[in-house]
Structure 1
Amino acid sequence: MSTTELLARRQRLLGVGTPLFYEEPVNIVRGDGVWLFDADGRRYLDMYNNVPCVGHAHPRVVEAMRVQAATLNVHSRYLHSGILDYAERLLNLHAAPLTRAVFACTGTEANEVALQMARTATGGRGIICTDAAYHGNSAEVAKLTRVGQAAKGDVRAIPFPQSYRPLREGVSSRDLTDLYLAEVQAAINGFAADGIPFAGMLVCPLLANEGLPDIPEGFMPQAAALVRQAGGLFIADEVQAGFGRTGRWWGYDVMEVEPDIATMGKPMGNGLPLSGVAARSDLVNTFREHVRYFNTFASSPLQAAVGMAVLDVIEQEDLLANVTEVGGYLRNELRGLQERYDPLADVRGHGLFIGLEWIGGATAKTPDREGAIQVVNRLKHKGFLMGHAGALGNVLKIRPPLVFKREHADSFLTAFDETMRELYGAG
């Protein structure tokens, strides 16, 4: 079946408008490590998928899945030591106060649980997010998606903290941090003025969907302090930042902030639906007391076995060190290309999570979404899969599996340079 026929069939069965990557979609049939293969046998270097964080079809994860599925898989209303072993090991990777876990299947579910937990513990409703956030698809969590800065019921959004397009040009780093902290305080004050009890703040510590901006120094821990002073809880959405993406276990480690609640998802099961919430014991106990939360497919022996295998691979293959070394190398090389090509205005990120700001005018910092899309599609034709994201849709997003090596980075850099020369001439 041709790609055109497959696309028509997809639209007929799943609905017109079901999201797809690239102007000419790719029919992927197999994955292996950092590689994806289409129906014609063409190989693509995966620069985007953080779900298979330890690589597509990692044999250790596949074997753990096979063995457990062949032995037992039931829901959480039975005792099973494997689930408890996994919970204990996972919690030991988190900040000391996070000693209890609630498991789910998706990042949306984890963030839904976190919101319920914060609201149950505080008795409040008001939640602060950023104006370009994405945290999931459920009716409640979706209220936090790209809400802009207008007050909307029990959600208030602040301008996401950044240095590239700051709230005010020409101020010191400390003053810029203070400006964004004032936005947090204004949101808290707004809830009080409207008679809405405050529950907390939910953010990705790296602001991944906002475009991985350089966050003004000290913003996250000081924002958490303001939230707690107002009686709220600070929730770190680790669905993209977690499990070694930055070279450290959690994005909140990089931002030097300790959350009250952390949510996890995408890379947790390397493709098996697995997510979770780690929180203080008092918060989880209160949640369990007041909310009858049960998830048929969560806290399962299969989830535990696969989740444990993912942790094994990250630790035994020393992937955190690999992420730090290869990610640092890739960012440095891209900064070299930045000096040669004006549209590549900013290179930022942490570990193997890199954002490239694409602009159409160097002085005005005019975002060039169409240019970013063009680069993504050109690279796809060369066998490199990446995406574009960010508040303005003009940030090239690089987020490969954690087993991505220097040789893969070099292949990408060569193709990227070729693409830039084709589009913009010699640098």
Structure 2
Amino acid sequence: MRSDQQLLADRQRLLGAGYRLFYQNPLHPVRGEGVWLFDADGRRYLDAYNNVASVGHCHPQVVEAIARQAAILNTHTRYLHEAIVDYAGDLLQHFPAELSNLTLTCSGSEANDLALRMARAVTGNQVAIVTRWAYHGVTSAIASMSPSLGVGVGQDIRLIDAPDSYRQPGGWLVSLRAVLDELAASGQSPAALLVDTIFSSDGVFSPQAGEMRQAAEMVRAAGGLFIADEVQAGFARTGNAFWGFARHQVIPDLVSLGKPMGNGHPVAGVVGRPAIFQAFGERQRYFNTFGGNPVSCKAAQAVLDVIHAEQLAENAEVQGSFLREGLSRLAQRYAAIGDVRGAGLFIGVELVGASQTPNATLAAAVVNQMRERGVLISATGPHSNILKIRPPLVFAREHGELLLDTFSQVMAQLSP
């Protein structure tokens, strides 16, 4: 086996400069199990970051489902197959009755790309509205509406404030109103408002009661659709509501799904109102070679089954509350913890300096010190000062206690 130094050198030589790594001291996991990652020396790391392996690394039920179907048949959706129909039937039961059609893709980027195409085709409008530090994916169209990537915002994209409950409660609706008024004044209408319902890249925010519904009503009144990006917040990540939008008593027009859907297997999709699917299908063709293939559908089915069998939505609610309460107690001890927020097992911890100024330096130090002590988290937000904690849904009380104890030790070292 290569040394980490040789692997890093070979990676840079063969893969180029486009790839980035986590942590000052990059991690080299060779095995995963549940909430743990293991390196070549057998040291284990508590994974409190990876929301892709949402039901735990290498969950045996998901692994077995993938292997079994791969050994039988894998084709595409131009042939009949029970797997995609059975999965669609089960998945759509988790949505409001108004949202009863599904198209499968391979990634959340493709799902958001398709949702945007559908919105533009059905409304006849081009302008899409997103938050100022959003991330929605990497296709050309979606990267242009992902300002956090730094690639530049497209000419048909308008930016609004995120619902910053810490610094500017309610301000995002004022920002949305201003954009809609500006569009109307120039004779334009929006195609869609697209929001990640946990506002992960913006800093992990939750709008105040009723605000998400108001935002949807405002954009619909202006001629657009409301698209809920559930790639990060969905599949019980935010607790009992199962979907981020459900926490806000709003029914979107379209919903994009991804990351945790196959527990690491590439499967994603768009759910929405049948009238939109019908109108889009009459105007345009859509086909995705690998989207909805039998192996992907079996992986996704296994994830859905595990979430129910192991009561992971309820677990996310309970363990998330335990973590937030523990972090809030630490905030009383350390002035650098400005705010603790989130839902279920998706938590943001804002680190600040004097006068609530974002403290990116401290956040980076905390992330790297936690890694050295065997706990993996990350940072987010436009200033990279918000710790992002989103462990697998199988996270238990003992894992939460380990995270809190380690975080307390790190904060005592770095910000006594």
* Smaller-chain TM-score bracket: over 0.9
Distance 2:402 2:190 in 1: 49
Give the whole-Å Cα distance in 2 for the aligned partners of 1:231 and 1:121.
10
Matches within 5 A, 1:14-413: 14-146=15-147, 153-166=155-168, 176-177=169-170, 179-247=171-239, 248-361=241-354, 364-413=355-404
Instruction: Report the secondary structure of 1:140's partner residue.
Output: helix
Preserved CA contact (<8 Å) 1:164 1:214: no
Deviation at 1:401, TM superposition (A): 0.3
What SS does the corresponding residue of 1:367 show, helix, strand or coil? coil
One-letter amino acid of the structure 2 residue matched with residue 400 of structure 1 = P
Alignment check: 8 A CA contact 2:145 2:154 kept: no
Counterparts of 2:45 and 2:153 in 1: how far apart (Å)?
Answer: 44
CA contact (8 A) 1:326 1:351 kept: yes
Amino acid of the residue matched to residue 372 of structure 1? Answer: A
- Give the distance between the partners of 1:284 and 1:413, measured in 2 at CA: 46
Deviations 1:310-357 (A, max 9, x none): 011000001111111111011101111110001111110001000000
Alignment check: 8 A CA contact 2:35 2:57 kept:
yes
- With 55-64 and 12-21 compared, the bigger mean Cα shift is at 12-21
Kept in 2: contact 1:261–1:278 (CA 8 A): yes
Higher mean alpha-carbon deviation, 376-385 vs 284-293, is at: 284-293
The answer on whether the counterparts of 2:367 and 2:378 sit within 8 Å (CA) in structure 1 is yes
Deviates more, 1:57-66 or 1:17-26: 17-26
Inter-partner Cα distance in structure 1 for 2:77 and 2:63: 22
Q: Aligned AA for 1:160?
A: A
Please name the residue that 2:408 is paired with.
417
Distance 1:144 1:311 in 2: 30
Q: 1:335-389 deviations in whole A, cap 9, x for unaligned?
A: 111100011111100010000001122xx11101111010010010110011001
Using the size of structure 2 for normalisation, the TM-score is 0.96
The RMSD of aligned alpha carbons is 1.5
Distance 2:258 2:153 in 1: 29
Asked if 2 retains the 8 angstrom alpha-carbon contact of 1:154 and 1:196, the reply is: no
Check 1:265–1:151 CA distance in 2 against 1; reply closer, same or farther (3 A cut).
closer
Whole-Å Cα distance in 1 between the matches of residues 415 and 179 of structure 2? 43
Maintained 8 Å contact 1:268/1:274: yes
Q: CA offsets per residue over residues 44-74 of structure 1, 9 Å max, x none?
A: 0000001010000000000000110011110
Segments of 5+ residues of structure 1 without an aligned counterpart are 167-175
Q: Distance in 2 between matches of 1:151 and 1:301?
A: 36
Query: Take 1:260 and 1:47, find their aligned partners in 2: how far apart are those partners?
Result: 32
Aligned-pair CA distance for 1:152: 5.3
Distance in 2 of aligned mates of 1:373 and 1:333: 21
Check whether the contact 1:200–1:234 (CA below 8 A) recurs between aligned residues: yes
SS of equivalent residue, structure 1 residue 71: coil
Note the residue ranges of structure 2 that are not aligned, 5 or more in a row. Answer: none
Tell whether the 8 Å contact from 2:35 to 2:46 is kept in structure 1 after alignment: yes
Q: Contact 2:146/2:153 (CA < 8 Å) preserved in 1?
A: no
CA distance in 2, matches of 1:293, 1:220: 30
Secondary structure class of the residue paired with 1:85: helix
In the alignment of these two chains, the number of paired residues is 412
The aligned amino acid for 1:329 is F
The letter of the residue matching 1:163 is S
Partner secondary structure for residue 327 of structure 2: helix
Q: Which amino acid aligns with 2:202?
A: E
Structure 1-normalised TM-score? Answer: 0.94
2:198 aligned counterpart, secondary structure? coil
Question: The residue matched to 1:236 in structure 2 has which SS?
Answer: strand
